[in-house]
């Protein structure tokens, strides 16, 4: 049985609560003979700032870099609203993404049949939905320079961010999307705003050229980001893989999250390039949701997004697609049995706690009745 090193970063708020459930699932996978997971824990976000004065320490960065995969729960909260900008909780997340060169953010939006009524959209619009949003994560307007607030000296200030993409950045993220599409519905929708942005003109040009050169068998379509936002809520099942930049991807994937009913359901993966020597990729897996300070410490958090993030690690870091399918089936079985945390509760139903949900998924995984 293979052994993998998982570096766990529970972070703040509900982070430690949902991470505890992943530890249970990893242990169950060991008992089932899928793989042995060695786990080590570190600090990121507000808790790291409290301990070291930085959102992640150099020592924890080194451990993250050495791990086979990093699992992060969530960072942030009102307690750290006034810490210096460079040390704010999100800076830990951004450093992990940047230093590990995790340029591809994969966010699946899957609507489990048992949850179709928890979506704000009609059942027929979302039932059976299975789309993948591939967001560029290390470039674009969140990182482009100059990035500053200039005092104009006349009582006015000017805020500047820079949207910038080079050919290689667009090519490598598009390649991830085309590769994924070949294993799914074989269709990629590329999204930008070439009608008003030069970076969008280049994006479209590069994706089109790569498609022609390397992926002519995959269906490619282009949609402007604003139109795509509209189509996502009108008829999301028209999409298979969506590839877009950092800013549009941030917004569109949050829109997609509501299609599935709750933020508490959505995992994500952030991947870097394959290392030619080791054949491994740097990878960070995390739920899409934040630290949910409003429910932290109350046992109310839904651990499914976090557990699904381990599922994505099985699939994309360890080549254990069968085990990932088994974990997905265990989650679907528990939901079909009617068990719900508060965020996805149906009317009149009694919600279960974070740990009860985790236990039920472990039991389903191990073959017991949920
Ligand atoms: P949030 O995702 O933390 O919460 C939004 C709403 O969804 C809240 O009502 C919350 O209770 C609910 N929710 C979120 N996750 C849930 C879960 N697993 N189970 C049940 N309900 C859940 O977003 P927010 O309130 O905008 O931000 C709170 C803090 O989290 C802020 O400090 C923000 O900066 C931070 N944040 C961190 C990340 C991250 O770590 N990746 C992402 C988003 C926000």
pLDDT in tens, 306-353: 999 999 999 999 989 999 999 999 999 999 999 999 998 877 778 999
Distance of CA 232 from the midpoint of ligand 1 (Å)? 22
Check pLDDT > 50 for residue 370. Answer: no
Structure tokens at 367: 């073959």
In contact, 46 and 12? CB cutoff 8 Å: yes
Ligand 1 atom closest to Cα of residue 295? 11
* 152-186 pLDDT per residue, tens: 999 999 999 999 999 999 999 999 999 999 989 99
Distance of CA 290 from the midpoint of ligand 1 (Å)? 3
Rounded Cα gap, residues 355 and 17, in angstroms: 8
Instruction: Indicate whether residue 305 lines ligand 1 (CB < 6 A).
Output: yes
Check pLDDT > 70 for residue 366. Answer: yes
* 87-102 pLDDT per residue, tens: 999 999 999 998 999 9
Distance of CA 172 from the midpoint of ligand 1 (Å)? 30
Instruction: Indicate whether residue 129 lines ligand 1 (CB < 6 A).
Output: no
Of all protein residues, the one whose alpha carbon is nearest to atom 27 of ligand 1 is: 290
Ligand 1 atom closest to Cα of residue 80? 32
Instruction: Indicate whether residue 265 lines ligand 1 (CB < 6 A).
Output: no
Rounded Cα gap, residues 56 and 90, in angstroms: 10
Of all protein residues, the one whose alpha carbon is nearest to atom 11 of ligand 1 is: 292
Instruction: Indicate whether residue 74 lines ligand 1 (CB < 6 A).
Output: yes
CA angle 86, 91, 97 (to 5 degrees): 140
Mutate to test the pocket of ligand 1, among 22, 289, 298 (most ligand atoms within 8 A of CB): 289
In contact, 331 and 308? CB cutoff 8 Å: yes
Distance of CA 289 from the midpoint of ligand 1 (Å)? 5
Distance, C-alpha 62 to centroid of its chain = 22
Q: Which residues pair with 221 in a beta bridge?
A: 189
* 103-148 pLDDT per residue, tens: 999 999 988 888 888 788 899 999 889 999 999 999 999 989 999 9
Instruction: Indicate whether residue 232 lines ligand 1 (CB < 6 A).
Output: no
Ligand 1 atom closest to Cα of residue 342? 20
* 296-313 pLDDT per residue, tens: 999 999 999 999 999 999
Instruction: Indicate whether residue 295 lines ligand 1 (CB < 6 A).
Output: yes
Instruction: Indicate whether residue 105 lines ligand 1 (CB < 6 A).
Output: no
Mutate to test the pocket of ligand 1, among 292, 293, 307, 356 (most ligand atoms within 8 A of CB): 292
Rounded Cα gap, residues 139 and 137, in angstroms: 6
Quickly tell me which residue has 């699932």 as its tokens. Answer: 25
Instruction: Indicate whether residue 226 lines ligand 1 (CB < 6 A).
Output: no
Instruction: Indicate whether residue 357 lines ligand 1 (CB < 6 A).
Output: no
Instruction: Indicate whether residue 302 lines ligand 1 (CB < 6 A).
Output: yes
Share of the chain above pLDDT 90, in %: 83
Structure tokens at 362: 């472990």
Distance of CA 47 from the midpoint of ligand 1 (Å)? 16
Distance of CA 115 from the midpoint of ligand 1 (Å)? 20
Where in the sequence numbering do the catalytic residues fall?
A: 142, 193, 226, 250, 254
């Amino acid at each position: 049985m293979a052994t993998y090193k998982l570096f766990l970063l529970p972070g703040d708020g509900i982070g430690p609560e949902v991470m505890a459930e992943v530890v249970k699932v990893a242990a169950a996978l060991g008992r089932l003979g899928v793989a042995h997971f060695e786990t080590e824990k570190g600090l990121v976000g507000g808790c790291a700032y409290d301990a070291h004065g930085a959102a992640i320490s150099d020592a924890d960065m080194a451990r993250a870099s050495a791990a086979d995969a990093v699992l992060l729960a969530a960072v942030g909260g009102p307690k750290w609203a006034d810490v210096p900008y460079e040390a704010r909780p999100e800076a830990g997340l951004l450093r992990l993404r940047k230093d590990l060169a995790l340029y591809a953010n994969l966010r699946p939006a899957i609507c489990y049949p048992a949850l179709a009524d928890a979506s704000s959209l009609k059942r027929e619009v979302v039932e059976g939905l299975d789309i993948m949003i591939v967001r560029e994560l290390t470039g674009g307007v969140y990182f482009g320079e100059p990035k500053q607030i200039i005092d104009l000296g006349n009582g006015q200030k000017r805020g500047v961010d820079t949207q910038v993409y080079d050919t290689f950045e667009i090519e490598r993220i598009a390649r991830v999307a085309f590769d994924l599409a070949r294993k799914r519905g074989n269709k990629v929708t590329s999204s930008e705003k070439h009608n008003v942005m030069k970076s969008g003109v280049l994006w479209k040009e590069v994706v089109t050229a790569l498609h022609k050169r390397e992926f002519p068998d995959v269906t490619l379509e282009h949609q402007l980001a604003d139109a795509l936002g509209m189509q996502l809520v009108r008829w999301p099942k028209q999409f298979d893989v969506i590839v877009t930049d950092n800013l549009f991807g941030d917004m569109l994937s949050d829109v997609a999250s509501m299609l599935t009913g709750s933020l508490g359901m959505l995992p994500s993966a952030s991947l870097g390039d394959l290392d030619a020597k080791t054949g491994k990729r740097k990878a960070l897996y995390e739920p899409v949701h934040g630290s949910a300070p409003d429910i932290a410490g109350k046992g109310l958090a839904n651990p499914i997004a976090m557990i699904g993030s381990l599922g994505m690690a099985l699939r994309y870091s360890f080549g254990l697609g069968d085990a990932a399918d088994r974990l997905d089936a265990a989650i679907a079985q528990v939901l079909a049995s009617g068990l719900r945390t508060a965020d996805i509760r149906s009317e009149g139903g009694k919600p279960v706690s974070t740990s009860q949900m985790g236990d039920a998924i472990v039991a389903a995984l191990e073959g017991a009745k949920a």
